[in-house]
Copies of this chain bind each other. A is one copy, B any other.
């Protein structure tokens, strides 16, 4: 359908949808990303399926809701046997490579049960969420009394930094994610007060340009057709930008915080708990926002410049002609909006992401520079890539849908009436604080174009927002009797969604069509009283057969 041969699937981590100028940020100009949008389609209503890195990505990479794949929080292994976009693309003749972050946790117990070595090709693909790995870097090398968060975090990048003269056991921390004072003391950006400092690293050695170069290095040697998941960690925390980006933005560039006192005073109990934890209280502080947001904006400005470098390189090497480019994020960042920090709640601030798709195909010419308000989900990407690869659609496995019809001007909407985003907080202190059991500690969002429902496990009341008239989601209408019918209707959708047969993945819809239309081809004939009741070609297997009386057979034996 598309004439794109390859797919460059760019993901930035924790990039808010509204912190790009094409999506409306008034002070943060991102001309390179805007230009890419002008050459493709900008999706304005794109949602991720879980507002946390690991779960969001597992949905994107499997094309399935968190509720279907089960890896519902960070570092919950994606279970062996869950097929991924890598599996589907390779089957359709397209390689699928990783350069950067996935947040995949291998299901070592499952691998062991199946006797699969993680070092084998198959085992490595399972352990790496279906990707072949050019370079994996989850962009994180925190360390605490129990050791490193991730033994494999930023290993190649740290080696690169060492080679470039940034010494020590963790230059990722000491240089790329810290400032330095005049006495040579590392000022760690794990402390938000240090986010206003300048990262102690040459800009070209910082994470975004480094990983962009790794992406280009991959493409330079790749034969194709390929899908390259170039997956960059920034603007994810630790928040600190290198020069010159560290000083580009100041208080005057920060958009007003989105929150009301009433929202705080009358908050839903789970929301209140989120507002009241360390994240909520820290990011509600003006000094924290003043330290963090300019750094966050600087990191995005750097990203934009690097997208410029990348696109220029793609142009110079002729790759813009045969490469689809997708630019998106895995979730947003509250930055104090709604009195929250980080991303763990269900407002658009964290559940909506930028999504820009450039398709080189002539079929896509009609839609270049358009903005689509179709309801799109990140799980649509594997279906889209599979469509590019010419593979057969797999609606029994992939819960998303190809965006090519929209990109090619054949459709203006997806076929869905709503988007879904789920958050499982069973593994968090929020669950403890609220005294919610491990099986009830979940929240789920269902959003149509007009309304958003948030449903909470554990017996909490729901929340309801009027997205048309209250796009900032400041007024919860769930208990307003004038909206009772809307609330009911949203629950009708939610219940229908939960009942979808999403675990029935081993048989295609086409096979079902064959099964349901076929008769007794293999001789199972039910409710047939006499031989005249069925087709002669079936009945012939059961008639005109001869046997000996069993008594004679027994007699012969003795």
* A541 x B178 contact (CB < 8 A): no
Q: List the 5 closest pairs (A to B, CB-CB), nearest first.
A: A81-B81, A142-B523, A70-B503, A144-B523, A146-B521
Residues 119-139 (chain A) with a chain B CB within 8 angstroms: 120-122, 126
Residues 181-209 (chain A) with a chain B CB within 8 angstroms: 184-186, 188, 190-193, 200-202, 205
* A185 x B545 contact (CB < 8 A): yes
Q: Is A438 an interface residue (CB 8 A)?
A: yes
* A509 x B438 contact (CB < 8 A): yes
Q: Is A164 an interface residue (CB 8 A)?
A: yes
Measured CB to CB, the closest approach of chain B to A157, in angstroms, equals 15
* B79 x A79 contact (CB < 8 A): no
Q: Is A318 an interface residue (CB 8 A)?
A: no
Which of A281-289, A381-389, A402-410 forms contacts with chain B?
A: A281-289
Q: Which residues of B contact A509 (CB under 8 A)?
A: 438
Q: Is A501 an interface residue (CB 8 A)?
A: yes
Copies of this protein chain in the complex = 2
* A180 x B547 contact (CB < 8 A): yes
Q: Which residues of B contact A122 (CB under 8 A)?
A: 113-115
* B144 x A522 contact (CB < 8 A): yes
* A529 x B116 contact (CB < 8 A): no
CA distance A233 to B278 in the complex (A): 61
Q: Which residues of B contact A188 (CB under 8 A)?
A: 531, 542-543, 545
Q: Which residues of B contact A537 (CB under 8 A)?
A: 144-145
* A190 x B528 contact (CB < 8 A): yes
Q: Which residues of B contact A516 (CB under 8 A)?
A: 426-429, 431-432, 438
The proximity string for A residues 480-523 relative to B, scoring 1 for CB distances below 8 Å and 0 otherwise, is: 00000000000100010011110111110100110111011111
Q: Which residues of B contact A476 (CB under 8 A)?
A: none
The proximity string for A residues 67-88 relative to B, scoring 1 for CB distances below 8 Å and 0 otherwise, is: 1111110001111111100010
Q: Which residues of B contact A144 (CB under 8 A)?
A: 520-525, 537-538, 541
- For A, the interface residue count at a CB cutoff of 8 angstroms equals 132
* B548 x A184 contact (CB < 8 A): yes
* A503 x B68 contact (CB < 8 A): yes
CA distance A69 to B68 in the complex (A): 11
Residue of B nearest to A431 (CB): B516
| From B444, B499, B549, contact of A457 by CB (8 A) | B499
Residue of B nearest to A150 (CB): B522
Q: A523-B149, A528-B192, A548-B184 are known contacts. Are A79 and B438 too (CB-CB below 8 A)?
A: no
CA distance A508 to B406 in the complex (A): 42
Q: Which residues of B contact A377 (CB under 8 A)?
A: none
Q: Is A95 an interface residue (CB 8 A)?
A: no
Q: Is A330 an interface residue (CB 8 A)?
A: no
Q: Which residues of B contact A140 (CB under 8 A)?
A: 524
CA distance A444 to B496 in the complex (A): 13
Residues 426-478 (chain A) with a chain B CB within 8 angstroms: 426-429, 431-432, 438-439, 442, 444, 457
Q: Is A165 an interface residue (CB 8 A)?
A: yes
Q: Which residues of B contact A503 (CB under 8 A)?
A: 67-70, 503
Question: With contacts A72-B501, A428-B515 known, what are 19 further pairs, Cβ within 8 A?
Answer: A81-B110, A114-B126, A115-B116, A115-B120, A140-B524, A144-B520, A174-B545, A175-B550, A185-B544, A186-B542, A188-B543, A188-B545, A190-B528, A191-B533, A192-B527, A279-B527, A282-B527, A282-B528, A426-B516
Q: Which residues of B contact A175 (CB under 8 A)?
A: 547, 550
* B83 x A113 contact (CB < 8 A): yes
* B142 x A438 contact (CB < 8 A): no
Q: Which residues of B contact A523 (CB under 8 A)?
A: 142-144, 148-149, 190
Residues 331-365 (chain A) with a chain B CB within 8 angstroms: 341-342
